[in-house]
Amino acid sequence: MSPVQIRPGAPRPTDVEGRLALGAITYLYAYYGSHGWHCGMDVCREPLALASGSYRLPGELWRPPSEAAEEARLALVLCHGSTQKGMRHELIRHLASELALRWPVLTFDLPGFGRAPRLVIRGPGDYLYYKHLLAAARLAKELTGLPVVLVGHSMGGRVSLQAAARGQEEGLVVAVITLAGLYDLPSDPKAMEALVADFASYVRVRFEVPMEEVARAVTESRPTLKAIETLKVPLLAIEAGLEIYGFIRETRYELFRRAKCPKTFVLLGKADHKFKGHYDRLTELISSWLEHRLSCLLKDRP
């Protein structure tokens, strides 16, 4: 099957996605603005399978144009939030297609979302998801030979923080970016039970232990707080000024204050939780932060 080619001025990949042949390698010809990349070469989107525990999760590796690939000093792993679209969510798709003009980008579906298998919960670790993001980071490093920056939206931001706090020790993760994803889980067991029950209402999931047991274990472990307090790698937190979720608004500033790592907080005053209408601004913020905050890291790598 021949790959599909999209030339400069054509619709973005999300607009033509329904016309792309599943499983084909898709080449995207792109134009990045008068002061950015003018791609005469290809951005290549390759389907892949991510092995994580007993799961095989669908994913994609977006490789930059050849000139950019030679200059890339890090790879990005994007983690979606609580959406059945998984990695095909419009925000994740946009970020992947734009950031891949500069760096390799890996996206994937978490268990229970997108086209991934049903999630099976046998303990709190299954609910927290971070092991799958660590597996994705290891695969990205294996495929590219580069250290990894984790980028997560909403729930994916919380998962990214936990994965980064673990992956930093082995030199796997060198930075983490959260998009409306800097929040603490409830400290009240009843509130946490309600959150787990809500989760079970829209995720393809099977509980092999009682939901209240999972909720109690998560409440007692305070996973997000522990992650933020042990984080050493740089953190960029981009938050929405029109955030609709009270638990995010009520906990994000205190969590940021507790972080002892190099950190940057950006509040987009007119953005909502999904950042609709602000995708390009997010791309600019992420790209600029990676270039400036991690400039020493990028310069020192061979």
How far apart, in whole angstroms, are the C-alpha atoms of residue 16 and residue 284? 23
Q: CATH number for the domain including 225?
A: 3.40.50.1820
Residues 174-197 pLDDT 10s:
999 999 999 999 999 999 999 999
Residues 58-108 pLDDT 10s:
999 999 998 888 889 999 999 999 999 999 999 999 999 999 999 999 999
Q: Is 27 a member of any domain? A: no
Quick count: other Cβ atoms within 10 Å of Cβ 119?
A: 21
Under DSSP, is residue 28 helix (H, G, I), strand (E, B) or coil? strand
pLDDT tier for residue 29 given thresholds of 50, 70 and 90: very low
Comparison of pLDDT for 104 and 11, the residue scoring more: 104
The upper half-sphere exposure of residue 230, i.e. CA atoms within 13 Å in the direction of its Cβ, equals: 15
Report H helices in the chain: 13-16, 66-71, 90-99, 124-128, 130-144, 155-167, 189-202, 211-221, 223-230, 246-258, 279-293, 295-300
133-169 burial code (b ≥16 CB/10 A, e <16): bbbbbbbbbeebebbbbbbbbbbbbbbbbbbbbbbbe
Q: Is 160 a member of any domain? A: yes
Q: Is 9 a member of any domain? A: no
Q: By mean pLDDT, which of 2-11, 148-157, 243-252, 278-287 is the weakest?
A: 2-11
Comparison of pLDDT for 295 and 225, the residue scoring more: 225
Angle, CA of 181, 182 and 186, to the nearest 5°: 100
Q: Specify the pLDDT at position 30.
A: 31
Largest CA distance in the chain: 56
Whether residue 261 contacts residue 233, with contact meaning beta carbons closer than 8 Å, is answered with: yes
| pTM, two decimal places | 0.84
How far apart, in whole angstroms, are the C-alpha atoms of residue 29 and residue 184? 40
Average pLDDT over residues 198-205: 95
Q: Is 18 a member of any domain? A: no
How far apart, in whole angstroms, are the C-alpha atoms of residue 182 and residue 245? 12
How far apart, in whole angstroms, are the C-alpha atoms of residue 123 and residue 215? 10
How far apart, in whole angstroms, are the C-alpha atoms of residue 275 and residue 158? 17
Q: Is 125 a member of any domain? A: yes
Positive or negative, the CA dihedral 145, 284, 288, 32 is positive
| Number of domains composing the chain | 1
How far apart, in whole angstroms, are the C-alpha atoms of residue 170 and residue 105? 20
Q: Is 31 a member of any domain? A: no
In this structure, what token pair is assigned to residue 264? 């940057």
Beta bridge partners of 55: 52
How far apart, in whole angstroms, are the C-alpha atoms of residue 290 and residue 295? 7
List the domain range (segments joined by +) for residue 71: 45-300
Q: Is 6 a member of any domain? A: no
Residue found under tokens 């099976």: 120
Q: Is 268 a member of any domain? A: yes
Comparison of pLDDT for 292 and 94, the residue scoring more: 94
